[in-house]
């Protein structure tokens, strides 16, 4: 019995300790593309990779350099392998060097890399599958120069499905002024000069390849209150002539819009500035001096200024042939202010101009029907998902578009230190809610040196950008994408597959844990179990796609009805936040009940004079149960939570020990 109790105690202790396998030096192999950093203990099954025709198979590989070396990649024509270059990212907000930083593999680089001894090197692999590719098993290889004798062999299956054009939209706001500061070749250049336009044209080509259709325009200075590193002046210059009459210079705006359209970005023209964050903007006097105006919204001065602008602006956009694409855009302003602005535009322009807004808060207000395109923060409807679904459904009936966005202080997200699975989850979740697309507020609002550090004063690292500039001294600058942007694209492809398979209903129940602000001011997953939960949900969708695309594959499909019924059985609201919060309370209650039972059993054993070994074993189990409660405190758990299993196992063992002791005492009395 002594050996049995010792073994049980050892098993309980070992189960409660986290296990992390060691990295494999000198081996080039695949890893989970949904993980930010390599963790050998997590494992990754690459035995059943599948891809559709007209699709991209996105993979991530890792190599642990055991010496200093110059690395290069080579592959077949349809396989693109690139090193993921690391960029420093703070776990907080601001640029305090005392805040912990990590080197995150995010910038998609070239096919060469200088590795240092002990460095973990990450590689992005994209296998493009043209529409005319025959279905069936395929093999390819990626060669890393340092392990050329052992190339990375990849086996995958091309399914007999063709990926259609995505039904979800993805929009990113542009910041064309950042390149003026960044590139040496543009030093001293005026905005939208010929040289500046040549650089912007290359950026726009890259954006067009991403499917971007929206054009970001400012009609007043700093409409977001200079919340980014570089200034963002108005593309429309407000001017007074010598007689004091107000007129407008549209030169910069016209050049920017024309350039965007020349490069295939011609869907929407989002014009920001009617409600600037600071409430003020500049007017250039006839002598070149600057007058700053800050009229109260709705006042006579405000109405007069904006009436003059709207008459001129509407006629100008109609003359250019752009009026049908033009939207007066309002970002995160109070509802009453928005109503005032929309009312004035209607009064001056009638139905000639359309509206677009991004909302940080939302309620069932019919006023939102004024906005032809509406973007809603993921944080604004926490616990109000049914209301959000009603709003989306109502807007669809009238042909109105509704998108979802995330930004600073939201979890899950696409920050530099967000797990890549968070991008998948976000896109899949918004599709399940019924949204029409995804919005990110910044494509290229670069901080001071984005190739070195993604830190910025106000926001989490990476929040301000999804693409990287070329080197300062580049004379032919090219844009580099981030791995985060690739994962957004992967999420859109996943949704497109489920839509093509008529199984979008699978996305209607996705659950999410809570985010929490850390001591450095940034919001990330509340606990490691919350981070794991998001990845589990993303993995569940991947498994469902595999099962749907080939019912004969033998891959077991998670039962959506079971997924719902478990929540119903527990009396929980099936929402991405409340459900798991309620589930955690249920699991926590189980843990507390087990702990109380352990204490009662222990007390009974002491009262009945149980043997020393039995008392010791019961004490160890009870202490372990108490530790489980502490470790689970504040986490968002699932039914299979490891600590809860330990807790229940410990209680059962404790009861067995007590019953065994009681029976032996009874046997002893009978013998006496």
Residues 343 and 395 placed together within one structural domain of the fold = yes
Q: Using an 8 Å Cβ cutoff, are 175 and 469 in contact?
A: no
Ranges of H-type helices in 265-418: 300-320, 335-349, 385-397
Terminal-residue alpha carbon distance, the chain: 23
Domain range enclosing 651: 2-17+578-671
On whether residue 282 sits in a domain, the answer given is: yes
pLDDT score recorded for residue 568:
44
d(C-alpha 627, C-alpha 650), whole Å: 12
List the structure tokens of 171.
């929009």
Residue where a domain stops, chosen among 111, 144, 164 = 164
Query: What are the structure tokens assigned to 516, written together?
Result: 């929490």
Is residue 139 located within the same domain as residue 185?
A: no
- Residue 184 and residue 145 share a domain: no
Q: From CA 499, how far away is CA 178, in angstroms rounded?
A: 38
Residue 629: helix, strand or coil by DSSP? helix
Residue 147 DSSP one-character state: G
Burial (0-12, 13-18, 19+ Cβ within 10 Å), 393? exposed
CA distance 327 to 214: 10
- pLDDT computed for residue 645 by the predictor: 65
For 343, other C-beta atoms within 10 Å of its C-beta total: 12
Tokens encoding 507: 């996305």
Asked, for residue 189, whether it belongs to a domain, the answer is yes
Beta-strand pair 136-144/152-162: antiparallel
Which of residues 139, 164, 189 is at a domain's end?
A: 164
Helix, strand, or coil here: 37?
A: coil
Cross-strand bridge partners of residue 58: 126
Same domain? For 118 and 229 the reply is no
In 116-262, DSSP assigns E strands to 120-129, 136-144, 152-162, 169-172, 214-218, 237-240, 246-249
List, for residues 96-139, the tens digit of each pLDDT value: 888 999 999 999 999 999 999 999 999 999 999 999 999 999 99
Residue 547 lies in a domain: no
* Rounded alpha-carbon distances, angstroms, from residue 614 to 3, 6, 617: 12, 11, 5
Name the CA dihedral angle for 644, 650, 653, 655, rounded to a multiple of 10 degrees.
-90
Count of structural domains, the chain: 3
**Residues 174 and 201 placed together within one structural domain of the fold:** yes
Question: Are 160 and 174 part of one and the same domain?
Answer: no
CA 453: distance to chain centroid?
19
Residue whose pair of structure tokens reads 């936040």 in the numeric block: 577
d(CA 60, CA 77) in angstroms, rounded, equals: 18
Let me know whether 154 and 174 are in one domain.
no
Q: What is the pLDDT of residue 396?
A: 96
**Spatial contact of 46 and 154, defined as CB atoms under 8 Å apart:** yes
570 lies in a domain? Answer: no
In a domain, 554, yes or no: no
**pLDDT computed for residue 56 by the predictor:** 98
CA distance 452 to 318: 44
- Residue 311 and residue 348 in contact, taking contact as beta carbons nearer than 8 Å: yes
Helix (H, G, I), strand (E, B) or coil at 378: helix
Cα 275 to chain centroid distance, Å, stands at: 28
Residue 529 included in any domain: no
- Radius of gyration over every alpha carbon of the chain, rounded to an integer in angstroms: 29
Looking at residue 380, its pLDDT comes to: 94
Cα–Cα distance for residue pair 617/388, rounded to 1 Å: 53
- Does 557 reside within a domain? no
> In 3D, which of 336, 340, 332, 341 has the Cα closest to residue 409?
332
Q: CA separation (Å) from 618 to 2, 242, 652?
A: 13, 92, 11
Q: Are residues 130 and 194 in the same domain?
A: no
| Listed residues 460, 492, 508: the one ending a domain | 508
- Which residues have CB under 8 Å from 74's CB, separation 6+? 81, 111, 142, 143, 145
Which residue positions in the chain have pLDDT lower than 50? 1-22, 564-581, 634-641, 666-672
Residue 671: strand, helix, or coil? helix
- Does one domain contain both 187 and 134? no
pLDDT for residue 622? 75
> For position 190, which CATH number holds?
3.20.20
HEC profile for 115-127? ECCCCEEEEEEEE
The pLDDT assigned to 649 comes to 75
Q: At 351, phi and psi to the nearest 5? A: -100, 20
Per-residue pLDDT tens digits for 654-672: 777 777 755 555 444 444 4
Bridge partners of 405, per DSSP, are: 377, 439
Q: Provide the CATH number for the domain around residue 152.
A: 2.60.40
Residues 32 and 114 in one domain: yes
Burial of 293 (0-12, 13-18, 19+ CB in 10 A): middle
Q: Please tell me the distance from the alpha carbon of residue 370 to that of residue 385, in angstroms, as a whole number.
A: 21
Considering the domain architecture, whether residues 63 and 194 belong to the same structural domain is answered as no
Scored b (16 or more CB within 10 A) or e, 258-284 reads: ebbbebebbbbbbbbbbbbeeeebbbe
Report yes or no on 536 lying in a domain: no
Q: In 3D, which of 214, 213, 105, 35 has the Cα closest to residue 462?
A: 105
Q: Are residues 397 and 498 in the same domain?
A: yes
């Amino acid at each position: 019995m002594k050996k049995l109790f010792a073994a049980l105690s050892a098993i309980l202790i070992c189960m409660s300790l986290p296990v992390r396998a060691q990295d494999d030096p000198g081996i080039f192999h695949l890893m989970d593309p949904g993980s930010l950093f390599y963790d050998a203990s997590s494992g990754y099954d690459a035995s059943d990779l599948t891809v559709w025709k007209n699709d991209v198979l996105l993979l991530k590989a890792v190599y642990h350099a055991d010496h200093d070396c110059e690395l290069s990649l080579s592959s077949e024509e349809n396989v693109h392998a690139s090193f993921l270059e690391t960029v420093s990212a703070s776990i907080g907000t601001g640029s305090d060097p005392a805040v912990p930083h990590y080197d995150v593999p995010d910038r998609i680089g070239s096919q060469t890399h200088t590795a240092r001894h002990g460095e973990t090197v990450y590689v992005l692999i994209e296998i493009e599958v043209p529409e005319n590719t025959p279905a069936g098993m395929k093999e390819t290889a990626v060669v890393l120069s340092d392990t050329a004798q052992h190339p990375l062999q990849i086996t995958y299956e091309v399914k007999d499905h063709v990926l259609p054009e995505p039904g979800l939209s993805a929009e990113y706001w542009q910041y064309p002024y950042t390149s003026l500061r960044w590139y040496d070749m543009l030093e001293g250049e005026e905005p939208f000069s010929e040289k500046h336009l040549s650089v912007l044209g290359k950026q726009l080509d890259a954006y067009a390849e991403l499917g971007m259709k929206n054009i970001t325009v400012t009609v007043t200075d700093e409409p977001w209150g200079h919340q980014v590193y570089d200034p963002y002046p108005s593309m429309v210059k407000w001017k007074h002539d010598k007689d004091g009459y107000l007129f407008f210079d549209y030169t910069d705006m016209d050049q920017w819009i024309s350039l965007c359209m020349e490069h295939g970005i011609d869907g929407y023209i989002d014009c920001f500035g009617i409600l600037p964050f600071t409430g003020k903007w500049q007017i250039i006097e006839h002598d070149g001096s600057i007058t700053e105006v800050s009229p109260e919204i709705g006042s006579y001065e405000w109405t007069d200024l904006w009436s003059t602008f709207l008459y001129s602006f509407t006629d100008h956009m109609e003359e250019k042939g752009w009026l049908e694409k033009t939207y007066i855009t309002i970002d995160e302003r109070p509802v009453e202010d928005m109503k005032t602005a929309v009312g004035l535009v209607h009064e001056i322009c009638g139905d000639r101009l359309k509206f677009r807004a991004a909302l940080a808060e939302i309620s069932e207000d019919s006023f939102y029907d004024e906005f032809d395109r509406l973007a809603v923060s993921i944080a604004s409807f926490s616990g109000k998902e049914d209301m959000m679904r009603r709003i989306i459904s109502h807007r669809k009936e009238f042909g109105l578009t509704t998108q979802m966005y995330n930004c600073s202080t939201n979890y899950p997200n696409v920050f530099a230190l967000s797990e890549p699975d968070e991008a998948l989850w976000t896109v899949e979740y918004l599709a399940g809610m019924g949204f029409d697309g995804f919005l990110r507020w910044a494509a290229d609002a670069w901080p001071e040196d984005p190739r070195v550090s993604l830190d910025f004063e106000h926001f989490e690292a990476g929040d301000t950008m999804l693409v990287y500039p070329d080197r300062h001294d580049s004379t032919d600058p090219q844009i580099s994408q981030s791995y985060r942007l690739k994962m957004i694209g992967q999420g859109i492809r996943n949704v497109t597959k489920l839509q093509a398979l008529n199984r979008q209903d699978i996305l209607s129940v996705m659950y999410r844990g809570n985010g929490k602000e850390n001591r450095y001011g940034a919001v990330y997953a509340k606990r490691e179990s919350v981070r794991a939960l998001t990845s589990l949900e993303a993995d569940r969708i991947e498994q469902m796609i595999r099962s749907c695309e080939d019912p004969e594959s033998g891959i077991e499909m998670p039962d959506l009805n079971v997924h719902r019924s478990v929540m119903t059985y527990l009396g929980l609201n099936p929402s991405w936040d409340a459900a798991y919060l309620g589930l955690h309370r249920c699991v926590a209650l189980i843990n507390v009940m087990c702990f109380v039972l352990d204490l009662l059993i222990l007390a009974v054993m002491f009262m009945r004079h149980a043997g020393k070994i039995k008392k010791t074993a019961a004490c160890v189990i009870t202490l372990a149960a108490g530790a489980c409660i502490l470790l689970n405190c504040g986490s968002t758990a699932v039914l299979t939570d490891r600590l809860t299993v330990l807790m229940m196992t410990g209680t059962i063992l404790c009861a067995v020990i007590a019953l065994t002791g009681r029976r032996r005492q009874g046997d002893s009395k009978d013998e006496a």
